[in-house]
Each structure stands twice: as C-alpha cells, then as structure tokens.
C-alpha cells in the first residue's frame, strides 16, 4: 500500500496504523515545509524505521505527488517492493493561506498542484495498474482513500486555494467511485480535523493539561482510514467522511433543494425577482465549519 505525505502528521499516523495491521507500506514524502518549499527524506525515513522497529515492512519514496511522472514512480515503488498494490491513501498537502484579494498566482498554483493534481496523479497510475490486472484476469479488491477537508466542504475564509482543491478532491472521489468500481476498486474520502504543523496557525494547540482524551491527536483519524482500506469496506464507496476526535460522520453533499419551474418556458430575468428570494428562503442555509 501507499500513503502519500506520510513523513509527518496525519499521514505518518496512517502509515503506522496500517503497519500495525500487517500492511506493507510505501512511505511517500517529499519532505518540504508546510508551504511546500524544500525537500528532505529524513521524516519519511524515520517513519520507515519506526515501522521496521515494530516488525513491519516499509520503504521510502521521496517523489513529488504533484509531478505526474513522480506519481507514476510512487505507484511503481509499491509494485516493485511488494509485488502488488491494494490500497492508495492520498494524504500529501501544503498550505499557503491568504485572503483572495492578496493571493498570488504562485500561491494558488502550488496548493492546487499538491492537493488536487497530487491526488489525481497517484490515483491515475494506480487505476491503470488495477485495470491492467483486471484485463489479465486477476481479481482486484482495491481501495482509494483521499483527503478532503471541512474547508472544502463548508468553506473557510483565507483558504480559497486550499478549499477549492479540497472540494475538487471530494468530487474527484465520487467520480472515481463511479468509474473504477468495474475494476474492483472502491474510492472514499475523509475530511479530518487534527493538530498538525499545517493547523498550528489555526489555534489547534496541545490538549489541556489533565485531559483524558486529546481530541486533536492526528492518530484519531487513522482508524477510519485503516477500516476504509479493509475488506469490510467493500460495499462502501463514493462517500466523504467527516472525522475529528471521537466523531465520525458522513457528509451528505449537494442535494437539489427548493425548485421552481416555468411551464416549459425560458425564464425572463424580470420575473426571477419574485422567484429566487423565495427559493433561498425555503432552502436550508449552507452548513458551516463548526457544525
């Protein structure tokens, strides 16, 4: 299996949790800082060493998920090292928060590249591998777990780049589920809340002294991700799960709300003033980050 961005934070906890269950793990991490600058294999190597210390199997991959050829190498690393690939966890991410009126093109492009393209690339190459396995007559029972965010589902000021990418990942996951089921592949996503170096600036500090349960511990996220990668999750696909602390919920996504029709005729702009405000008043308000 593969966990991208697993040198630190939530990804590291995923890799360790899978290893405890006996999975053979490709620990992918470019090793850049929280904004995506630089590269350092040390965090990925440390995760691998910790997995081996517990008796597990793991290898390091330092490719950039945002590079399409690098994404291919990540997938090939699993096949070369372990002979097959059954589970892909797309977790790698960066932050370059900025209010929209001040955001630069580079800040937009970097976040979209790592999160959205960085989910597409590994998934695209893994999907090709699984399709070829199916064509060869082999049974495929594979899992994709992507990482969205409450920011992408509900919106958060200062994160137009991050939120747009995470919303795209949620939609991408649903479409992957529609397309890849024929090859024996399930696709789901999580929208986690936890304390990492990316969320420290959002006020997610350490647990209060004396607390019996640390609700922001990134390890809280991994049990769901491990379960979604298991055979028990065979009939669960195309869903996005909200997970934080001890809470797991299913995000219900977009639904068509109150609707007006015009008897088979094109609407005239002048008539919509009596229609749209009523539709909005009858609709549920948008959910928020804290709900």
Q: What is the pLDDT of residues 95-115, one digit of tens each?
A: 999 999 999 999 999 999 999
Judge whether residue 198 has pLDDT over 90: no
Question: What does the pLDDT read at residue 61?
Answer: 98
Judge whether residue 34 has pLDDT over 90: no
- Give the separation between CA 1 and CA 239, rounded to whole angstroms: 21
pLDDT band at 201 (very low <50, low <70, confident <90, very high): low
- Give the separation between CA 12 and CA 7, rounded to whole angstroms: 5
- φ, ψ dihedrals at 20, nearest 5°: -60, -25
- Regarding the domain delimited by 2-251, which CATH topology (the fold level of the hierarchy) does it fall under? Rossmann fold (3.40.50)
Question: What does the pLDDT read at residue 36?
Answer: 72
Judge whether residue 37 has pLDDT over 80: no
- Give the separation between CA 199 and CA 28, rounded to whole angstroms: 21
- Give the separation between CA 5 and CA 143, rounded to whole angstroms: 17
Give the DSSP per-residue string, 143-184. Answer: EEEEE--HHHHH--TTBHHHHHHHHHHHHHHHHHHHHHGGGT
- φ, ψ dihedrals at 167, nearest 5°: -65, -40
Report pLDDT digits (tens) over 39-90.
Answer: 789 999 999 999 999 999 999 999 999 999 999 999 999 999 999 999 999 9
Judge whether residue 197 has pLDDT over 80: no
Question: What does the pLDDT read at residue 291?
Answer: 66
Q: Which of 18, 24, 151, 162 is catalytic?
A: 162
Report pLDDT digits (tens) over 136-166.
Answer: 999 999 999 999 999 999 999 999 999 999 9
Q: By C-alpha distance, which of 191, 131, 125 is closest to 155?
A: 191
Residue range 186-203: average pLDDT?
Answer: 81
206-243 burial code (b ≥16 CB/10 A, e <16):
eeeeeeeeeebebebbbebbbebbeeebeebbbbbbbb
Question: What does the pLDDT read at residue 40?
Answer: 84
Asked about 166 being catalytic, the answer comes back as yes
Judge whether residue 245 has pLDDT over 70: yes
Q: Which of 166, 230, 234, 271 is catalytic?
A: 166
pLDDT band at 22 (very low <50, low <70, confident <90, very high): very high
Ranges of each domain in the chain: 2-251
Question: What does the pLDDT read at residue 196?
Answer: 72
Asked about 162 being catalytic, the answer comes back as yes
Q: By C-alpha distance, which of 173, 177, 172, 165 is closest to 189?
A: 173
Cα three-residue angle 37-40-46, rounded to 5 degrees:
135
List helix spans (H) across 198-289. 222-228, 276-282
CA distances to 139, 140, 148, 202 from 214, in Å: 41, 38, 22, 17
Q: Which of 149, 151, 231, 271 is catalytic?
A: 149
């Amino acid at each position: 299996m593969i966990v991208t961005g697993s040198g630190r934070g939530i990804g590291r906890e995923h890799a360790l949790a899978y290893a405890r269950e006996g999975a053979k793990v490709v620990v992918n991490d470019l090793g850049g800082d929280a904004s995506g600058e630089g590269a350092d294999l040390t965090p990925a190597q440390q995760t691998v060493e910790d997995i081996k210390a517990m008796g597990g199997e793991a290898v390091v991959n330092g490719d950039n998920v945002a590079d399409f050829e690098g994404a291919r190498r990540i997938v090939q690393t699993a096949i070369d090292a372990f002979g097959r690939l059954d589970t892909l966890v797309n977790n790698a991410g960066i932050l370059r928060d900025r209010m929209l009126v001040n955001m630069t093109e580079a800040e937009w492009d970097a976040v979209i590249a790592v999160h959205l393209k960085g989910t597409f690339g590994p998934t695209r190459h893994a999907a090709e591998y699984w399709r070829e396995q199916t064509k060869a007559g082999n049974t495929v029972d594979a899992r994709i777990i992507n990482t969205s965010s409450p920011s992408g589902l509900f919106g958060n000021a200062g994160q137009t780049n991050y939120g747009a990418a995470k919303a795209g990942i949620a939609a991408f996951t649903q479409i992957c589920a529609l397309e890849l089921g024929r090859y024996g592949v399930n696709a789901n996503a999580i929208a986690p809340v936890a304390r990492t170096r990316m969320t420290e600036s959002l006020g997610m500090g350490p647990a209060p002294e004396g607390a019996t349960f640390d609700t922001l511990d990134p390890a809280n996220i991994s049990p769901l991700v491990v379960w979604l990668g298991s055979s028990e999750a065979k009939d669960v696909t195309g869903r996005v799960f909200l997970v934080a602390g001890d809470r797991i919920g299913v995000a219900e996504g977009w639904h068509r709300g109150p609707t007006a029709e015009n008897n088979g005729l094109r609407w005239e702009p002048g008539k919509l003033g009596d229609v749209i405000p009523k539709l909005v008043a009858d609709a549920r308000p948008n959910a928020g980050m804290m709900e």
